[in-house]
């Protein structure tokens, strides 16, 4: 069904409703209208990395881990699996009359905000700090969720529009101020891509204000840009209880009726919250018109028709057995394998069981299910913690396994250590009786997450610094003293200061696992024992500490992320080791003459074009591996260009040991454009350098990877 056909049917149905009935349908918990044969529908469902909060479902790695795969095909496949399980749940439960919250087909994902500051607690819900990577993965997830059938498989929702990435404690009254250049260069591209390329069905507004206006009633964002410049035809939803903030916190209105009227008049079609209960009152007071209520209602019923909720769809036969199937769980494990980032390896990995007599597993996250899940998660059929994964792997061997929790996950005051740190001695005994220690440190959703959802009340889900909790730092220091080789698993959704582990001769390897999903323990075990090579890449910069960062409240990109940072990263964006030794030996633009012609005669038709680059890779190592070719561009003329280089292409490629392979990576024409101070993309240079390699072209990446990218000069 086309949008035009669905819109016509929606209009015909809505015209039969009274004002009161229309008003009831723009709430997130829309009731049934029995006289018109309209069943109840709850718009609120979540699908960040699996169907969330709705019982059993496949739990994939958290979104930041998905981003670390640097793979659009993987992300689209995840979206397809998630939408299959959402349909299976909807089909089974709606048949039994259960149409409650988290049971519908409007999935409020993906989160395509930019992870501009590692302190932000919700950053692990995103695809990282880079607008290009976020755009590509956001579009892929939207396509996976919505499907390629005649009806929508589910309806995706790009959130939180826009300029939203902390601080959590202030989000209900905060005004995020960003100039037009930062808006269109960093904060908006992923939303634009989801709308124009992904055809995303919904967009969710943020809690905060942006440049003075609340994001759920924003003239520029909602009217001028989203529906004006981008031509968005879907529906707009408020974040939950965000409209209430208009009068209670932002103070831009005086009461709920004014808030409801303001949001509706700017194009917010459905209210997650209760403020739209005042819509009829606002209408009676002539604050809004019948036509405005009708417009919102038609948009929402257009989505319901596109989902086939009235005329049926090709997805109605998806059975309940698809939920958390073995195939889906296995794929979650594969994603976990490809998401983990090997940051350091002094030759200890992969481990050989034949050379081990005893292995120690230590740490508060070693046997933790919470450390697998992230937030906005479902309930897995089974969880494989890291401890379980290693024990399962060694169960058929003579290797002895010791275990100790080691310390509490979070104790951050000296007076809380001592007697309360009562597992330190046990942990040291484990280390001293082991050939190698697997040390699992980090955080979980109780320490970094959304305001109101974490136990981290002093920072409302955000981090105040980049340090591990004091209890864990103490444990690491004590274990280093034992001299037993350590493999550190850092289980966090964000960048931490790993300087101690990086510099220590005792810590032989460091793996960033993120929150790796229900199969994370098995995936980790398969990596350290060499069944698969690690292949994830950092979608965020790891800094030395907060002293390198601008103020958390400052939304200017100056000094932020790899594109604008002034100092040297501890571990750079795009970095990640494998067990192979893969490098790019040759790279060239396939259609250089066409590119040069489009640059010389720059016109609007070139804006959506992509150009292929051929890259040759060779694996001179002893292990088969997958490597991600990364292409960065540097405009060498324009004063408008980011301080450093920018990612403009990437492609995951498998290369067996001793093998040479060729691969194609596409780069968009837009990569050659700069954003001016008015937010317009312009061609402002005649000289560019493309860097084609397996990491960033900065000195830290080159030193860590021991390989330089291939340079391609573009001068026209």
Give 306-338 pLDDT, tens digit per residue. 999 999 999 999 999 999 999 999 999 999 999
Asked if the model's pLDDT at residue 617 lies above 80, the reply is: yes
Once rounded to an integer, what is the mean pLDDT over residues 197-205?
98
Confidence of residue 420 (pLDDT cuts 50, 70, 90): low
Domain regions of the chain by residue span:
3-322, 329-536, 582-715
Q: What is the mean pLDDT of the chain?
A: 97
The answer to whether 291 touches 315, Cβ cutoff 8 Å, is no
Neighbouring C-beta atoms of residue 692, cutoff 10 Å: 25
Q: Which CATH architecture has domain 3-322?
A: Alpha-Beta Barrel (3.20)
Asked if the model's pLDDT at residue 152 lies above 70, the reply is: yes
Once rounded to an integer, what is the mean pLDDT over residues 661-682?
98
Asked if the model's pLDDT at residue 415 lies above 80, the reply is: no
DSSP string across 299-355: HHHHHHHHTTTTT--TTTT--GGGTT-HHHHHHHHHHHHHH-EEEEESS-PSP-GGG
Phi, psi of 658 (to 5 degrees): 80, 0
Q: Which two tokens stand for residue 410?
A: 């979070």
Asked if the model's pLDDT at residue 654 lies above 90, the reply is: yes
pLDDT in tens, 155-166: 999 999 999 999
Share of the chain above pLDDT 90, in %: 96
Strands (E), 208-323: 209-210, 213-214, 235-237
Asked if the model's pLDDT at residue 418 lies above 70, the reply is: no
Please report, for residues 359, 362, 490, the alpha-carbon distance to residue 431 in angstroms, rounded to integers and kept in the order given.
8, 8, 18
pLDDT in tens, 496-553: 999 999 999 999 999 999 999 999 999 999 999 999 999 999 999 999 999 999 999 9
The fold adopted by the segment(s) 329-536 is Rossmann fold (3.40.50)
Task: Give the HSE-up count for residue 5: Cα atoms under 13 Å, Cβ half-sphere.
Answer: 9
Note the pLDDT of residue 532: 98
The CA distance from 606 to 604, in Å, is 5
Closest listed residue to residue 436, CA positions, set 336, 344, 530, 528: 528
329-536 and 582-715 have identical folds: no
CA 515 to chain centre: 12
Q: Which CATH architecture has domain 582-715?
A: Sandwich (2.60)
Mark out the alpha helices in 53-208 (DSSP H runs).
Answer: 63-67, 72-95, 131-146, 180-182, 189-196
For the chain, the distance separating the N- and C-terminal CA atoms, rounded to the nearest angstrom, is 46
The CA distance from 377 to 483, in Å, is 38
Give residues with Cβ within 8 angstroms of 92, minimum separation 6. Answer: 320
Once rounded to an integer, what is the mean pLDDT over residues 575-602?
96
């Amino acid at each position: 069904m086309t949008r035009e056909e669905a819109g016509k049917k929606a209009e015909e149905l809505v015209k039969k409703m009274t004002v009161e009935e229309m008003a009831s349908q723009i709430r997130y918990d829309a009731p049934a209208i029995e006289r018109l044969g309209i069943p109840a529908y709850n718009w609120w469902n979540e699908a960040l990395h699996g169907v969330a909060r709705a019982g059993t479902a496949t739990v994939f790695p958290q979104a930041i881990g998905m981003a670390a795969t640097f793979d659009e095909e993987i992300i689209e496949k995840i979206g397809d699996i998630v939408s299959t399980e959402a349909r299976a749940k909807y089909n089974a439960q709606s048949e039994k009359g259960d149409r409650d919250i988290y049971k519908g087909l409007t999935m409020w994902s993906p989160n395509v905000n930019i992870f501009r500051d590692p302190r932000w607690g919700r950053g692990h819900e995103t695809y990282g700090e880079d607008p290009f990577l976020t755009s590509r993965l956001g579009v892929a997830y939207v396509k996976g969720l919505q499907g390629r059938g005649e009806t929508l498989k589910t309806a995706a929702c790009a959130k939180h529009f826009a300029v939203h990435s902390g601080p959590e404690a202030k989000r209900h009254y905060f005004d995020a101020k960003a100039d037009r250049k930062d808006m269109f260069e960093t904060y908006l591209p992923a939303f634009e891509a989801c709308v124009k390329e992904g055809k995303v069905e919904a967009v969710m507004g943020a809690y905060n204000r942006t440049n003075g206006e609340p994001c759920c009633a924003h003239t520029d964002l909602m009217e001028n840009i989203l529906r004006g410049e981008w031509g968005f035809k879907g529906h707009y939803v408020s974040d939950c209880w965000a409209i209430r903030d208009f009068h209670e916190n932002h103070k831009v209105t005086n009461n709920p009726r004014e808030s409801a009227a303001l949001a509706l008049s700017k194009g917010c079609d459905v209210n997650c919250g209760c403020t739209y209960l005042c819509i009829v009152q606002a209408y009676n007071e002539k604050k809004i018109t019948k036509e405005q209520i009708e417009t919102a209602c038609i948009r929402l019923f257009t989505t319901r028709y596109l989902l086939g909720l009235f005329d049926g769809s090709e997805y109605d036969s998806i059975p309940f057995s698809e939920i958390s199937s073995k195939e889906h769980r296995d794929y979650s494990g594969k994603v976990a394998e490809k998401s983990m980032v090997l940051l350091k390896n002094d030759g200890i990995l992969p481990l050989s069981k034949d050379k081990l007599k005893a292995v120690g597993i230590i740490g508060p996250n070693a046997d933790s299910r919470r450390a697998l899940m992230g937030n906005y998660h479902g309930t897995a059929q089974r969880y494989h913690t890291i401890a379980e994964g290693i024990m399962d792997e060694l169960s058929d061997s003579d290797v002895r396994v010791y275990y100790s929790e080691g310390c509490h996950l979070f104790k951050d005051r000296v007076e809380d250590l001592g007697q309360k740190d009562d597992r330190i001695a046990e942990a040291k005994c484990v280390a001293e009786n082991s050939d190698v220690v697997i040390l699992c440190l980090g955080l979980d959703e109780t320490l970094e997450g959304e305001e109101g959802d974490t136990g981290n009340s002093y920072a409302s889900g955000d981090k105040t610094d980049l340090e591990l909790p004091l209890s864990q730092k103490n444990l690491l220091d004590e274990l280093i003293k034992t001299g037993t080789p350590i493999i550190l698993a850092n289980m966090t959704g964000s960048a931490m200061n790993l300087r101690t582990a990086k510099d220590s001769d005792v810590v032989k390897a460091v793996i960033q696992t993120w929150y790796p999903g229900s199969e994370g323990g098995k995936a980790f075990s398969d990596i350290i024992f060499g069944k698969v090579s690690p292949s994830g890449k950092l979608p965020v910069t790891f800094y030395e500490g907060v002293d390198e960062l601008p103020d958390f409240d400052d939304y200017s990109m100056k000094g932020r992320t790899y594109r604008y940072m002034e100092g040297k990263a501890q571990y750079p964006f795009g970095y990640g080791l494998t067990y192979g030794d893969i490098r790019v030996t040759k790279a060239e633009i396939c259609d250089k003459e066409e590119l040069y012609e489009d640059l010389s005669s720059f016109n609007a038709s070139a804006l959506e074009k992509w150009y292929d680059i051929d890259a040759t890779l060779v694996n001179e190592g002893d292990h088969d591996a997958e490597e991600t070719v990364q292409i960065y561009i540097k405009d060498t003329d324009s004063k408008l260009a980011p301080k450093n280089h920018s990612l403009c292409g990437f492609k995951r490629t498998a290369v067996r040991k001793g093998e040479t392979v060729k691969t194609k990576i596409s780069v968009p024409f837009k990569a050659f454009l700069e954003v001016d101070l008015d937010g317009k993309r312009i061609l402002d240079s005649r000289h560019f350098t493309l860097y084609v390699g397996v990491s960033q072209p900065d000195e830290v990446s080159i030193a860590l990877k021991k390989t330089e990218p291939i340079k391609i000069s573009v001068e026209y």
